[in-house]
Structure 1
Amino acid sequence: MLKHPVRVFGHRGAKGYLAENTLESIEKALSFQVDGIEIDVHVCATGELVVFHDFTLDRMTNGVGEVGKHSLEELKKLRVNGGFQIPTLEDVLKRINKECIINIELKGKNTASRTSEIVEAYIRNHGWTYKDFIISSFQQVELEKTFQINKNIPLAVLTKASVAEAITFAKTIKSKIIHPNFALLSTDNVKFAQSQGYQINAWTVNDADTISRMKTYGVDGIISDVPDKI
């Protein structure tokens, strides 16, 4: 059941308030009664899925180098923005505990298989349903792999290039969700996409004018660093 007229997603938790993709940021987003939380995943060197945006550690942590070349033990010793820990996908799922939708963006390579396994395990063993998940990515190969593994998982095509091109690709994986950068949108292309059966969730929408414009266009959802402002 939606909590808002326009579906509200917290971007990387509540990135505007606390360090992105941390449990603390996710906790903050949940306190805003969001409809969904968007996070990013990479496979680390020991095979676990870790929740982190960048391919390298340098910007956000006291570590250096590629996320995928570090073990989970090594990653857990690092600190994000000086005080927070890098969580695993399962850490995040345990905290959200079906309070809202989780949008898992497949950021790193080879994330489709392990993500699909975890989604299926949480549906089978923890009372989640497919409606509790969205798997999104810019990487078409990862979305195609997810579709091949499990055609029941809801998929979303991320785009910063073209809504029309995203729809063309979405048809090949039976996706009904498009996540366009807000700058691509107009009343006309939002209505056209919706007339073809697609949900449009715009990202990353933070300022009051853009929030208002997206609502005027009639988007289905807004992904924001400041979800309490939507």
Structure 2
Amino acid sequence: MKIFAHRGVSGHFPENTLPAFAAALQTGSHGIELDLFLHDGELVVIHDRQVDRTTNGHGLLEDFTPAALFALDAGNGQPIPTLWQVLQLCANRLEINIELKGQDTAPALVALLHRAQKELALRLDSVLVSSFHHPLLQRLKTLLPEIRIGVLIAHYPLDGVQLAVQLNAVSLHCDRGFVDRALVNLAHQAGIELYVYTVNQQRELLALRDIGVDGVFCNFPAEALQWLRTATA
């Protein structure tokens, strides 16, 4: 089972900050997960369009100039990072699951990934792009056919797996409350991996492992890996 550090090691560090991602590199996690908005031409790593929850600022991203946005405290004195900074830190060291927010991020992401291929020798097969905005994923695949995508859903649709197949996705990402063995089996029969968010309890993690879930997003990846090792032993 793959363990993705959800917004980095967000159980112990401010979410979506460079220290949270650096900590994930030390845990042995299979990958990290981060959230992406486009702000004034820059891809910034933050979960919410409103900055109030995760920074000391107030208002919407678009209310801030770039200088003002990067002057905000995202926790422990850390600024909001850019995707480029995360790639500089993590490229080719583990899988990077980028969740696209908004409707305008695909072209900018393609341009930045091309730059990372040239300057950081980034392997595209180490990148997984997911979104609840399925037309955005479709556009991304048109712009960059070789990119791996994951379809995010927050419910249990009748055709979730078929949607992933239609989009030529490699994975379906589901809320933990909607995952059962039947869905896992259906995904696997279609050649789709099933990932579950957000799993922070040992009992839940092991139950999902036992029904064949391929990976989870976790705020405490070191603990999750230890739970898996202990259960296997």
Please confirm whether the aligned pair reaches a TM-score higher than 0.5, indicating the same fold: yes
**Contact residue 43 and residue 109 of structure 1 kept, 8 A:** no
User: Please, which of 110, 133, 148 is the counterpart of residue 154 of structure 1?
Assistant: 148
TM-score computed with the length of structure 1 as normaliser: 0.93
Asked if the contact 1:158–1:166 (Cα under 8 Å) also holds between the matched residues in 2, the reply is: no
Give the corresponding residue for 2:118. 124
CA shift at 1:172, angstroms?
2.7
After TM superposition, give the deviation of residue 122 of structure 1 in Å. 1.6
Match of 1:18 among 5, 13, 38: 13
| Deviation of 1:171 (Å) | 2.6
Identity %: 29
How many angstroms apart in 2 are the aligned matches of 1:11 and 1:223? 5
Q: Which residue of 2 aligns with 1:217?
A: 211
CA distance in 1, matches of 2:113, 2:130: 13
Cα-to-partner distance string for 1:35-91 (whole Å, 9 max, x where unaligned): 1100000011x2100000011011111211111342322211110135211000000
Measured in 1, the distance between the counterparts of 2:146 and 2:173 equals: 19
Give the drift of 1:116.
1.6
Q: Is the 8 A contact 1:113 1:146 kept in 2?
A: yes
SS in 2 for 1:42: strand
Which residue in 1 is equivalent to 2:35?
A: 40
The residue identity in structure 2 corresponding to 1:194 is H
Asked whether the equivalents of residues 134 and 153 of structure 1 are also in contact (C-alpha less than 8 Å), the reply is yes
**Deviation for aligned residue 1:163:** 5.7
Question: Cα gap change, 1:193/1:150 in structure 2, threshold over 3 Å: closer, same or farther?
Answer: same
Q: What amino acid does structure 2 have at the position aligned with 1:144?
A: Q
Q: Which amino acid counterpart does residue 187 of structure 1 have in structure 2?
A: R
Count of aligned pairs: 224
Looking at structure 2, the residues matched to 215 and 108 of structure 1 have their Cα atoms a distance apart, in angstroms, of 32
Corresponding residue of 1:81: 75
Asked if the contact 2:164/2:192 (under 8 Å) is kept, the reply is no
Q: Which stretch shows the higher mean deviation, 84-93 or 124-133?
A: 124-133
| Structure 1 position 27 matched with structure 2 position 22 | yes
Deviation for aligned residue 1:201: 1.1
TM-score, normalised via structure 2 length? 0.91
From 63, 68, 86, give the equivalent of 1:92: 86
**Runs of 4+ displaced beyond 3 Å:** none
Q: Which amino acid aligns with 2:153?
A: T
In structure 2, the residue matched to 1:8 is 3
